[in-house]
Amino acid sequence: MYEGACASCHGWSGESSISLFATLTGAWAVNDPGATNVAQIVISGTKRYTPEGAVSMPAFGNGYSDVEIAAVANYVTARFGSKPAHMTAQDVAALRKQTSQ
């Protein structure tokens, strides 16, 4: 999933060539031991306003299953964070419910 949906913006090393804000290495969200922040961003996307303009990541929640989102959140935290997370499909389902409220 990372190869198909993430690597083109975030890079294989976690260093983005598109924007400093898309760099994963050292990012606070990637160091969340529960992977909640990463999963939430994958589900809902994000937009950040900078002096140079808006930087955004699209939402992937409608395109991927709970299992796939948990897998990519675990991969990202293990590869680019300080320690791997153990996000489950059930965790992702709970996050989706929170997001829809």
pLDDT one-digit tens code per residue, 77-100: 999 998 888 999 999 999 999 877
* Residue 16 tokens, joined: 């983005």
Residue burial 53-73, b: 16+ Cβ < 10 Å; e: rest: eebebeebbeebebebbbbbb
| Percent of the chain topping pLDDT 90 | 70
Per-range mean pLDDT, top range of 9-13, 20-24, 65-69:
65-69
* CATH pick for 29-100 out of 1.10.10.10, 1.10.1040.10, 3.10.20.30, 1.10.760.10: 1.10.760.10
- Domain locations in the chain? 29-100
Judge whether residue 23 has pLDDT over 70. yes
Average pLDDT, the chain: 92
At 19 the pLDDT is 87
Question: Quick one: average pLDDT of 16-39?
Answer: 91
Burial class (CB in 10 A: 0-12, 13-18, 19+), 87: buried
